[in-house]
Every structure is written in structure tokens, then in C-alpha cells.
Amino acid sequence: MLKAVEWKGETFQFLDQTLLPLEEVYIETSDYRKVEEAIRQLKIRGAPLLGVTAAYGLCLGALEGEKGKVGDFFSFLEKVDVDLRTSRPTAVNISWALDRLKKIWEQDMEDWSPRQVVNSLIDEAKKIEEEDYKNNENIARYGAQLLQDEDRVLTHCNTGSLACSGWGTALGAISWAVLQEGKKIQVYADETRPLWQGARLTAFELMKNSIPVTVICDNMAGYLMSQGLVDKVIVGADRVTLQGDAANKIGTYSLAVLAHYHKIPFYMAFPLSSVDFSIREGREIPIEERDPEEVIAPRGIKITPPGVGVRNPAFDVTPHHLITALITEKGIVYPPFEEVLLNWKTEARQNG
């Protein structure tokens, strides 16, 4: 299983995913700014992993602040928090993880030494990573229940161990079905333009695990469905609302519409940390608009006429009525989603 990030005492190591699949390069840093930059540049990506990474990024900032070269320790933590929190606006896992750490350094701050704060933050960040690993396993196990032997499964973007701390979410379910349950699964991986996370990362992961995978261009999915070549679609999610509307990598909504038309089950897999309990509808989700250069010059190769207009939203929102089921670490949820999600929120509060 690939390990995309690792805490190494007082430094943070991550796999530069922009170089995959041609190069496997790990970068080690003690500077939270390098972590923030890596998030913005998609060197580190995947909603669950972004939560883990943001937590460790704050720990690096706390270590820097402890050395006393940044002025007031807690004011500096506020700055680090804001920098990391605004690195990518759509994935709610970043703010979810930082909120957990903020509760630590905001309580009785005057009574705590910087070293006590640092130690507590690192402990909490490790706990977030451990929870993500366990949640990945549960999501993978539940998701695998929906996949049958000989299924042909279409997925979009990358939702495996490169996007999480363990098995992954949607891709984790596929991998679990094959590697743990011995099912024969044929995977179709959308290339996922404009940055090809499917062609570069999902194909890379599956081939590492000897799982059959065929890469298709994003605009080929409808044809495959019309030919009866797709049995199920399973994807991840970066932010989910109370009623079950879900933001995921751009192109997901199109797949959901196609699957609905062809009567193909459409599943979304994610940890509950990706649920934004403060909003009910998908139109409230902020959508990140990325650099036009990603479209104009992928991998530095210009493919459009000079001066052409470009839109580059990184995500779209799939409405809940197009989703067959949600797969989380607590189980599989069928429509209507809101009541179950609210119940789980209440349970989480009661459990502390």
C-alpha cells in the first residue's frame, strides 16, 4: 500500500503526486509554508489526506513558533491556521482537521507553555491520521459489499491510498473487493482532465496492486454505458451537504447524469469528515477555480490558441437524487440521506 505522507518526529514527508507516474519523489520539510504550497499545487491531494496534511502542517507551524522567532506564539498559530485553511476552499476536511487542533490551542492558552501546545497538537494530528486509516478500511469494506464478482466498474479522479491514509475511499472499495475478497473486477478509470488524476494516479495504484484497469478519456464514459460495458460507478467526494448533494472532481456530475439515464448504480464514498453539517444544499458549496494554465498548457505543452478564454472549476456538485447510495465508515446510506447523517452527527457529539 502506497504511503503518500508521513510524520517523522519534527518533519513532514510527502510524495510529490504531480510527478507520478513517471517519478516517485518524496520531499521532507520542516516548513509549514512548503506544506501549504504542496496543497495548493496538488502535490498533496485527496480530501481525507488534505485533512491529515493540514493537521501536520499546523504542527510544523507550532514547532516554528516554539523557537520564539515569530513574535507571539499564539498569534503565529492563528496565521498558520488561516494560511492552511485557505489553501483549497472546496475540501471541507482541511477546516474540519484544523478546527480539531484549534480547540486544543485555544483552551486555557495562558496556562500552557508552547511545548505543551506542540506536544498536544502532534498527538491530535496523529490521532486524525490513525482515525483516517481505520475509516478507510471500513469504507473499503462496506463499499466492497456493493461490488459483485465480474463487475465492470467506472471510477473518476483518484480516491485510493494516494488520497488517504490507508486503503482509500471509492478506489479502496475496489481494491478491497479484489485483494481481500478475491472478486474479479474490471476497472475503467476516467483520465480526469485537466490534470489526469485518473490516468496518472488511479491507473498507477491499480497496476501496483495487479488490478486490471483500462484508462478512458472523460468523454468516452457515455459510449461505454450505452454499450452495456459498465455495471457500476463509484467515486469519492470532497464536501457533502446534509441532504446528500456532493462536490467531487469536475466531471463527476456528468457521470451521475449518464449513470441515471442508463440505470446504472452511482455510489459516492467518503469519510464523515467530508460532510459539511453547516450547509444543506449543494449550491452553498464554494467551488475552487484553478489556474487556466492547467487547461491551456498541460504538462507545459500549449494546446490552445493564444489569448483564448478558459474556465477551470476544479469541482462540480452532484445532486442527491442522482446518487444511489453513500458509503461511509459507519455504513451504506440509501436515500433519503439527511436523517441518517443528522443522527450520526448527534452520535458523534454524544461520544465527544
* Cell of residue 117, nine digits: 501546545
Pinpoint the alpha helices (H) of the chain: 32-40, 47-66, 73-85, 93-106, 114-144, 170-179, 197, 203-208, 221-226, 252-261, 293-296, 338-350
**293-317 burial, b if ≥16 CB within 10 A, otherwise e?**
ebbbeeeeeeeeeeeeeeebebbbb
Pairing type for strands 186-190 and 213-216 reads parallel
Cα separation, 267 vs 137, whole angstroms: 17
Q: Which residues are catalytic?
A: 238
Q: Which candidate, 342, 323, 343, 347, places its Cα nearest to that of 146? A: 323
SS3 100: helix
